Amino acid sequence: MLKHSMPLLSSLMLSAASAGSAGASPSSIHAEIGYIEVAPDITLRRMVAHSAAPKGTVLFLHGFPETLLVWKDIANALARDYEVHAIDWPGYGMSSRPAVATFSYSPRDYADILRAYIKSAHVDRSRLTIFATDIGSLPALLAAIEEPDIAKNIVVGDFAPFNRPEYMYESLQNLKSEPAASKTRIHMNGTSAEILANAYRRGLPPEEQFDLPAEVLKDMTEGWGHGDITSADAFYHYYSHFTRDQDYLEAHLGELKTPVKVVWGEKDFYIKKEMGEEFARRTGAPMTVLPGIGHYPHLQKPQNIVAEIRAAK
């Protein structure tokens, strides 16, 4: 089981008072952060916001270098009408960091974690919307190929479904092959403070740049080095298998039967919107391009994501 400190857990409890500021009725919300074991050696930290009469369930899957706290305001805004879940992926936040010998941190392994969480949390798949961004998107789609009833629908965005170097930021491409990958990993671990402070600002004009909530930045900072594998290490291992799993998705696109929608930031600095446009075109998925938004729409303009969830069919 994952070891964690009670002071940290207590500091991350979400109160009804904070939810009230998002326009939800405090009496209808009970949001909390805790832990759930999904495999013998993997415990996930999770956030759950309960609703008295939910229309359905929403499960949020974060990207790099994030933790589940990036979804807090969105969860509070949705919790009047939905049961809302979010998890820390293995390697991020306060979730387990299993040894690479037993867990590869690949998109395929994350797909297995996603299925295990849905089962362990007793989520009703027939009423589930999965909202996944960045590294969370490919695992969600791989899980849907294996189990088309994994969710009622899936919303994905700002990720790399296919191996298209021309659409990706150079440092991300460097993680795909050695020796550049190991050098990039070392550099990322040596510059973690700068990455956490500025990753979400890059590519945005000054008037669109924003600050992370202090509690989110603190959680990402503490989560980066929690355990024996840093978040940069997990990202490195993810990318070492990325091309293989991208190629698998592309070869099996015809087997993707779960309804999918694509939501993309127009000004995404890391993965160009043309990547999302190709995926949407080839799968017949509707796509929303968010004007003036970068790689982290849920942090830059969370109200847009709330609207997308409410519009999901």
pLDDT tens, position by position, 220-242: 999 999 989 999 999 999 999 99
Strand, coil or helix: 201: coil
Please report the pLDDT score of residue 24 as a whole number.
Answer: 37
Where does the pLDDT of residue 52 fall: very low under 50, low under 70, confident under 90, or very high at 90 and above? confident
Q: What is the pLDDT of residues 77-87, one digit of tens each?
A: 999 899 999 99
Q: What is the mean pLDDT of residues 110-131?
A: 98
Would you say residue 260 lies in a domain? yes
pLDDT at 10: 31
pLDDT over 50 at 4, yes or no: no
Average pLDDT over residues 13-22: 35
Q: Does the residue 205 lie in any domain?
A: yes
Range of the domain at 105: 6-311
Residue 109 has pLDDT above 50, yes or no: yes
- Round to whole Å and give the CA distance between 243 and 232: 18
**Residue 1 domain-assigned (yes or no):** no
User: How much is the average pLDDT of 144-155?
Assistant: 98
Asked if the model's pLDDT at residue 253 lies above 50, the reply is: yes
- Compute the average pLDDT of residues 198-202: 94
Burial level of 125, CB count in 10 A (0-12/13-18/19+)?
A: middle
Amino acid (1-letter code) at residue 258: T
* Residue 94 pLDDT > 80: yes
How much is the pLDDT for 20? 34
What does pLDDT average to over the chain?
90
pLDDT at 64: 98
Quick check: 13 pLDDT over 60?
no
Q: 247 in a domain, yes or no? A: yes
Indicate whether 289 belongs to any domain: yes
Predicted confidence at residue 31, as pLDDT, reads: 72
**Contact between residue 239 and residue 176 where contact means Cβ atoms under 8 Å apart:** yes
Residue 313 is predicted with a pLDDT of: 67
Whether 16 shows a pLDDT value over 60: the answer reads: no
The answer to whether 33 and 12 have CB atoms below 8 angstroms apart is yes
pLDDT value, residue 2? 37
With respect to residue 48, please indicate whether it lies within any of the assigned structural domains: yes
β-pair type (42-51, 56-61):
unpaired
Asked, for residue 197, whether it belongs to a domain, the answer is: yes
Q: Give me the pLDDT at residue 71, please.
A: 96
In a domain, 110, yes or no: yes
Q: What does DSSP say about strands 82-87 and 260-265: parallel, antiparallel, or unpaired?
A: unpaired
Residue 120, pLDDT > 60, answer yes
Confidence label for 30 from pLDDT (cuts 50, 70 and 90): low
Please say whether the beta carbons of 204 and 164 come within 8 A.
Answer: no
In the chain, the number of structural domains is: 1
What CATH number is attached to the domain comprising 42? 3.40.50.1820
Amino acid in the structure at residue 26: P
Residue 45: phi and psi, rounded to 5, are -80, 140
Residue 141 to residue 92: CA distance in whole angstroms: 20
| Average pLDDT, integer, range 174-187 | 96
Please write the tens of the pLDDT for every residue from 266-306.
999 999 999 999 999 999 999 999 999 999 999 999 999 99
**For position 197, what pLDDT does the model report?**
94
Note the pLDDT of residue 53.
87
Which residues are 50's β-sheet partners? 30
Which pLDDT belongs to residue 29?
47
List Cα–Cα distances, 18 to 71, 79, 88, in angstroms: 13, 12, 21
Sequence-ordered alpha helix ranges (H) in 101-198: 107-120, 137-146, 170-174, 180-190, 192-198
State the pLDDT confidence band at 51, using cuts at 50, 70 and 90. confident
